[in-house]
Amino acid sequence: MCVGETGMGKTTLIESLFNMKLDFPPCNNELKTVNLLSKSYDVVEGGIRLKLTIVETAGFGDQLDKDKSAEVIVEYINEQFEKYLKEELKIKRCLDYYDDTRIHACLYFISPTGHGL
């Protein structure tokens, strides 16, 4: 997951890290709410196939009142863990084929102006 204001370079960093082009639509900073965009990619690193899911937070921190910007993100993360827990608690569970949508890492981009903290 990449969290930060519009124009901070979230997509550019991920593209550079994995040497691939992401197809997220360009975001304008006129969004009234935070939108979560999730896309999955197959990546081969060192001969090993990985499934990489990127979650971008379009509109995060772009509002005048930033108090509730993180609520959507926290709610999404909690939903993914609840979904996994429900599958894990089943009597006949099959986690080998389960599509794990939990967030394993979050990169938080801080604006260099320092006015947002």
Domains of the chain: 2-108 (3.40.50.300)
pLDDT computed for residue 106 by the predictor: 92
Average pLDDT over every residue of 78-99: 85
Q: For residue 30, how many other CB atoms are within 10 A of its CB? A: 8
- pLDDT > 70: what percent of the chain? 87
CA 97, CA 102: separation in Å to the nearest integer? 15
Please give the model's pTM, rounded to 2 decimal places.
0.77
- pLDDT > 90: what percent of the chain? 15
Strand order in the sheet with 2-3: 35-45, 48-58, 2-3, 107-108
Which 3 state secondary structure label does DSSP give 84?
helix
Give the model's confidence band at 92: pLDDT under 50 very low, under 70 low, under 90 confident, else very high.
confident
